[in-house]
Amino acid sequence: MSYRTEEVAYVQPAQPAASAQAAQATQQRSTAEYRALDAAHHIHPFSDMGSLNRSGSRVIVKAQGVYLWDSEGNKVIDGMAGLWCVNVGYGRKELVDAAYKQMQELPYYNTFFKTTHPPVIELSALLAELAPEAFNHFFYCNSGSEGNDTVLRIVHQYWATQGKHSKKFVISRKNGYHGSTIAGGTLGGMGYMHEQMPSKVENIVHIDQPYFFGEAQGNLTPEEFALARAQQLEAKILEIGADNVAAFIGEPFQGAGGVIFPASTYWPEIQRICRKYDILLVADEVIGGFGRTGEWFAHQHFGFEPDLITLAKGLTSGYVPMGAVGLHDRVAKAIIQNGDFNHGLTYSGHPVAAAVAVANLKLLRDEKIVDRVKNDTGPYFQKQLRETFANHPIIGEISGTGLVAGLQLAQDPKTRKRFANGGDVGTICRDFCFNGNLIMRATGDRMLLSPPLVINKVEIDEIVSKAKKAVDATAQQLGIS
Ligand code: PXG
């Protein structure tokens, strides 16, 4: 591929690599050179490339603990654990060693044709130990999206084994996120993704989300509102016919949708309805899994029992890609006893990914990282956020538990009046965070935090004070005080 400077004329001029040797020394380019090459050859996910290429990306070159460094030497605190995934923090040698050792011993083998290997065996046994008692079987893939594709395959196979072939519909939620494959994108309820995706998976329908701050009308309490939103599931099942509905899928709390935490009435009602109409209940634990809420899995925080769980991100702390689906015994039994399951990926149970996952899960368990989130750092983080932003003129709500939180930006917090141009306000605030060397994610008018689970209290204080500065600066820019 050629390096075409005319395509990158709008970023700082770059010096093309003088020799093949220099070209290989990828850590030694200047920021301008990195940006120019990135603009010339790299399409980023979910990005407006024209505008990104004009401004230039921030080049992240290394990381340690909860900190990142960019190519200009700035030290940035990562309030998002990468993309909600680096649960054990950056730079853990145990994971590096596990990958190195496994690559030497057996870098790849498949698990298709009557073969298996030690890392995938160890991982499956360990997951069975860490997951709730009824989860003893796991299927592997490379990502959360593939996990949810796999969920669809398992759900349909399950009902086929029960002789209930008409059970084909899957009910999901608006503003849910389940990935970006065609199936993941269809399951998700992001309108802007659906618009760009004329081909969708059939038989998927959506109900409304339990977003109290933004969508509750009248004088409903959060509990009443959550119950009403859960009861939309029953109405939808009755509309489609229970004999045609295979499953309901939801994130225990919506992550990418804005860290939307439903009130305590929501999930018990969803579970009651699923059981009543014999519908599988799927918890997408891609963000909530592996300690984020202080429990190993977020459904345990909300107190319900799914039939399937989708896993990814924290499974390997993002060091290598891996996803999985956990099957409740009753589903696993049906799949195991009924012939071929015609689904698999070249890298299902990849030995290096599995070895890294084992090392990662052992750290989370043996260093009592999940326990610490539940009893120490999680409560501290939540308390600091709530105290710092109490009565703030543009903070309407703080959601979350453990080490995940959402801050609702609002024009009038008391009347739950949101900004008319909510996404713009979120972007302003996100940019203030970015310039203040804090990574915080904006979803519309909600600011999200999900730091590495190894974060300590001093680092939590740093995140909270940097977030406060950014929110204050946003309010000032809007002329609100
Ligand atoms: N389910 C959930 C609940 C997720 O959050 C996926 C499935 C898909 O996982 P993969 O590994 O295929 O990306 C996700 C992913 C964001 C953001 O901006 C969130 C995700 C991915 C990318 C960006 O918040 N979540």
Lowest mean pLDDT among 4-8, 19-23, 153-157, 402-406: 4-8
Residue whose CB lies within 8 A of the most ligand 1 atoms, among 80, 84, 192, 310, for a mutation test: 84
Q: Which domain holds residue 434?
A: 18-90+369-478
Is the residue at 7 inside a domain?
no
User: What does the pLDDT read at residue 201?
Assistant: 95
Q: How confident is the model at residue 375 (pLDDT cuts 50, 70, 90)?
A: very high
Whole-number Å distance between alpha carbons of 267 and 253: 10
**Better pLDDT: 96 or 2:** 96
Closest ligand 1 atom, CA of 145? 12
pLDDT bucket at 4, cuts 50 / 70 / 90: very low
Residue 183 lies in a domain: yes
The CATH number linked to 406 is 3.90.1150.10
212 and 333 part of one domain: yes
Distances (CA, A) of 157 to 113, 271, 274: 20, 21, 18
352 token code pair: 């290096």
Q: Is the CB of 256 under 6 A from ligand 1?
A: yes
**Does 181 lie in the same domain as 200?**
yes
**Strand (E) positions, 74-115?**
75-78
Query: Are both 273 and 288 inside the same structural domain?
Result: yes
- Which of 366, 382, 408 represents a domain boundary (last residue)? 366
| Average pLDDT estimate for 77-106 | 98
Domain C-terminal end among 344, 366, 388 = 366
444 lines ligand 1 (CB under 6 A): no
Domain check: are 200 and 242 in the same one? yes
Q: What is the pLDDT of residue 351?
A: 98
List, for residues 104-150, the tens digit of each pLDDT value.
999 999 999 999 999 999 999 999 999 999 999 999 999 999 999 99
141 and 85 in one domain?
Answer: no
**Among 177, 181, 325, 440, residue to substitute to test ligand 1 (most atoms within 8 Å of Cβ):** 177
Once rounded to an integer, what is the mean pLDDT over residues 271-289?
A: 98
Q: Residue 15 has which token pair?
A: 């010096």
pLDDT of 12 higher than 50: no
Does residue 3 fall inside a structural domain? no
Tens-place pLDDT, residues 401-435:
999 999 999 999 999 999 998 889 999 999 999 99
Whether residue 251 has its Cβ less than 6 Å from ligand 1: yes
DSSP codes joined into one string, 195-235? HT--S--SSEEEE----HHHH--TT--HHHHHHHHHHHHHH
Same domain, residue pair 39 and 142? no
In sequence order, what E strands does 71-158 have?
Answer: 75-78, 135-141
C-beta of residue 452 within 8 angstroms of C-beta of residue 375? no
- Tell me how far apart the alpha carbons of residues 364 and 88 are, in angstroms, rounded to a whole number: 7
> Tokens 């009565």 map to which residue?
391
What are the distances in angstroms from CA 325 to CA 131, 150, 314? 12, 7, 13
| pLDDT at 16 (0 to 100) | 38
Residue where a domain stops, chosen among 366, 400, 421? 366
- Whether 11 is in a domain gets the answer no
State residue 36's pLDDT score. Answer: 96
State yes or no: pLDDT of 20 exceeds 70. no
For the chain, how many structural domains are there in total? 2
- Tens of pLDDT, residue by residue over 425-471, are 999 999 999 999 999 999 999 999 999 999 999 999 999 999 999 99
In this structure, are 99 and 85 located in the same domain?
no
List the Cα angle 61/29/99 in 5-degree steps: 40
pLDDT score of 122: 98
Identify whether residues 403 and 452 lie together within a single domain: yes
Give residue 339's pLDDT.
84
Mean pLDDT across 342-346: 96
Indicate if 40 and 101 belong to the same structural domain: no
The DSSP call for residue 328 is E
| Residue 274 reports pLDDT greater than 80 | yes
Within 50-202, strands assigned E span 60-64, 67-70, 75-78, 135-141, 169-173
Q: Are residues 172 and 202 in the same domain?
A: yes
Tokens at 361, concatenated: 């899960």
Identity of the amino acid at 201: V
Distance from the alpha carbon of residue 19 to the mean position of ligand 1, in angstroms? 39
Residue 13 lies in a domain: no
Binding site membership of 255 for ligand 1 (Cβ less than 6 Å)? yes
In a domain, 323, yes or no: yes
Query: Cα(150)–Cα(170) distance, rounded to whole angstroms?
Result: 13
Residue-averaged pLDDT of the chain = 94
Residues 397 and 382 in one domain: yes
CATH code where residue 230 lies: 3.40.640.10
Residue 27: per-residue pLDDT: 55
On whether the CB atoms of residues 169 and 248 are closer than 8 A, the answer is no
Nearest CA to ligand 1 atom 17: 256
